[in-house]
Amino acid sequence: MGLLSFLQRKADHQATLGAVRPAAPPAAAPAAPAQPILSREEIVDSKNRLCGYRFALHPVEGGGPVPEAVFFAALAAARIPEFAERRLAMIPLTLDAVVFKRHLPLLAPNTVFLIDREQAKLAPKQLAGRLLALKESGCKVALRHVSLEQDELPLLEACDIALLHLGDCSLAQFQAMTRQLRALYPALALAADGVESWDEQRMCLAWGCAYCLGEFLGKPDSDQQDGKIDQGRLTALEMLNLLRGEAELVELAEVAKHDPGITFQVLKWANSPATGQSSTVTSLSQAIVVLGRTHLYRWLTVSMYRLGTHRARDEGLLEVALTRARFLETIGARTLSAAQRDEIFLVGLLSLFDVLLGMPMPQILDKLHLSAAVQDVLLRSVGPYGPYLMLALLVERGMSGRAAEIATTLGIAPALLGDTSSAAFQWAQDSLRQTLAD
């Protein structure tokens, strides 16, 4: 149960931070410059799996372009080459970096170096030679702004992925381009960029795209908003409500018995190495005592992404939610109390429940007994946690200038945002990878 171990470690870390009390009012943030933020844009494959990310480094508002060497250093510090051993890491690359071999530390089997044809001012055959040399070094190559002009065709033969942006042409032209590329180069993977909804994603898949990039993953899917929750998740929701209401152990155990999957999961959690039990836990009541109400609540919330009717997309939502939750908890270490940090961690996890369950957030919150502060931020993006969630969303989107402004008003040093975001991403990656290994 690797994920439980990581959540346990999170709780232990939070207990250590408990001695830190929030300032009243928050002290002004140190006058440190906001650092560029390494952002991640999800890459979703044809099976709706979050298979990787496109990375970018964004300067603060008013700042100039970030030097490529700084970008590469940030990627190395965030352990992206290690990530690319397992999953796709799409990294924009200039030809200068190739010539001077600055890209070599980022090489990994699933590194995808993205070359922009409009910026690469070389003759097609010369550029094709550079692309082939890149591939031979042990990575994948993607090309942006591709063309079907006769003299440009060698480029398509030399790359692994063609990145096509929906906003660059009409839908009819986009469809025609994908049809021609598939006919001419069956081995070339097509990636659709700028996808804004699940309907657009399905359209791109129908036209032959293998990957989609855009903001659609975290948006509700109209095809899955049926207003129904399967039994496993209903049981988990009922248990969450009982835990919030300090119900007796007998009530909790009785509800868990209604779903064999929940019963099995709770007993499995209680017997995991993370709990430190020397003897086997065999009853639900004993399992709940071993886990403790706070930990059980947290673990049930996480497991909502995996219970019942589990879709490939749900694992991606869990990854995003875990990263967001960890960022929120960590960034609030010096401005929020221990109890508030625990709540704001749950805000991060719950923030994608409407997408997960295919229900409007008000309808979901009607089924949960949550504090006014949590309801305010999830329903209206207001209240004490509202600025924190907005900060997390801005950081995720690489809007570092606006993020720095909000951080300053919260008493948080803007210089902490980039490192905190990367650390939260790494924590979530380690958590989920360990889960799969167990």
Q: Mind listing the pLDDT tens digit of every residue in the chain (438 residues)?
A: 445 544 554 544 444 444 444 444 445 444 445 568 999 999 999 999 999 999 999 876 556 778 999 999 999 999 999 999 999 999 999 999 998 999 999 999 999 999 999 998 899 999 999 999 999 999 999 999 999 999 999 999 999 999 999 999 999 999 999 999 999 999 999 999 999 999 999 999 999 999 999 999 999 988 876 667 777 888 888 888 888 777 888 888 888 887 888 888 888 888 887 777 778 888 888 888 888 888 888 888 888 888 766 688 999 999 999 999 999 999 999 899 988 998 999 899 999 999 988 888 998 888 888 889 999 999 999 999 999 999 999 999 988 889 999 999 999 999 899 999 999 999 999 888 765 444
pLDDT of residue 34: 55
pLDDT of res. 287:
86
Domain ranges of the chain: 2-29+228-437, 37-222
Residue 25 has what pLDDT?
A: 44
Burial class (CB in 10 A: 0-12, 13-18, 19+), 271: middle
Give the N- to C-terminal CA distance of the chain in Å, as an integer: 6
pLDDT of residue 29: 44
CATH class held by domain 2-29+228-437: mainly alpha
Q: Which residues pair with 91 in a beta bridge?
A: 113
Written as six digits, the tokens of 336 are 């929020």
Query: Does domain 37-222 fall into CATH 3.40.50.11390?
Result: no
pTM equals 0.86
